[in-house]
């Protein structure tokens, strides 16, 4: 581990972050939540917002998947996703739902300058992003897909989108 140059939890929590918040909208799986923590840590997201019935730490199943990232990623729990979106908007973040929707922007075509604060809303594993949240969003980002299912696990989606956004900056 020492050869990898990993930071301790305190240093990692205070390190520079990308101006990106990940918002989980009623995500039900603790494993998906834990994976989102790890991915947010990996890509230095500013924060992770857990909304509605999305499980929150401390919980054994979240910690099992997060592997310590619950200590390095800033997070908040909100009663509703709309509360989280309003909080992010009040802090100057642009809101983008990651969803297959009419007039969505394909991920590879999404232009982000790396400076403008953005919040990415990832929806429930079955029903997607809440309609009320979609109406409040500044836009939708869609991951292109060619298979029969046209569906990705939420934790995979978080990884794909964060990678695509931060790799350019």
Query: Over the stretch 14-44, which tens digit does the pLDDT of each residue have?
Result: 888 999 999 999 999 999 999 999 999 999 9
What is the predicted pLDDT for the residue at 157? 98
Continuous segment of H or E residues that includes residue 100? none
Closest CA to 120 of 167, 161, 78: 161
User: Using 50, 70 and 90 to split pLDDT, how confident is the model at 4?
Assistant: low
Place of tokens 């909100």: 78
**pLDDT tens digits, one per residue of 134-168:** 999 999 999 999 998 888 999 999 999 999 999 98
Residue 66 burial class via C-beta count within 10 angstroms: exposed 0-12, middle 13-18, buried 19 and up: buried
pLDDT at 2 over 70: no
Residue 159 Cα to chain centre, angstroms: 8
Q: b/e for 7-37, b at 16 or more Cβ within 10 A?
A: eeeeebeeeebbbbbbbbbbbebbbbbbbbb
CATH superfamily of 2-167: SPOUT methyltransferase, trefoil knot domain (3.40.1280.10)
- Rounded to the nearest 5 degrees, what angle is found at the Cα of 66, between the Cα atoms of 169 and 54? 95
Cis bond leading into 79, ω under 30°?
Answer: no
**pLDDT tens digits, one per residue of 32-80:** 999 999 999 999 999 999 999 999 999 999 999 999 999 999 999 999 9
């Amino acid at each position: 581990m020492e050869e990898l140059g990993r930071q301790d939890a305190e240093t990692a929590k205070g390190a520079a972050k990308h101006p990106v918040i990940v918002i989980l909208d009623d995500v039900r799986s603790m494993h998906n939540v834990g994976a989102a923590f790890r991915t947010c840590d990996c890509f230095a997201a500013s924060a992770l917002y857990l909304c509605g019935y999305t499980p929150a730490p401390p919980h054994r199943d979240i910690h099992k998947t997060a592997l310590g990232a619950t200590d390095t990623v800033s997070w908040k729990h909100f009663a509703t996703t709309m509360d989280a979106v309003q909080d992010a908007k009040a802090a100057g973040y642009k809101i983008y739902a990651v969803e297959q929707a009419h007039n969505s922007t394909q991920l590879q075509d999404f232009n982000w300058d790396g400076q403008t604060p953005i919040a990415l809303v990832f929806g429930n594993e079955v029903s997607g992003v809440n309609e009320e949240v979609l109406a409040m969003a500044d836009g939708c980002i869609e991951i292109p897909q060619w298979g029969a299912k046209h569906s990705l696990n939420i934790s995979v989606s978080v990884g794909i989108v964060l990678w695509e956004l931060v790799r350019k900056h």
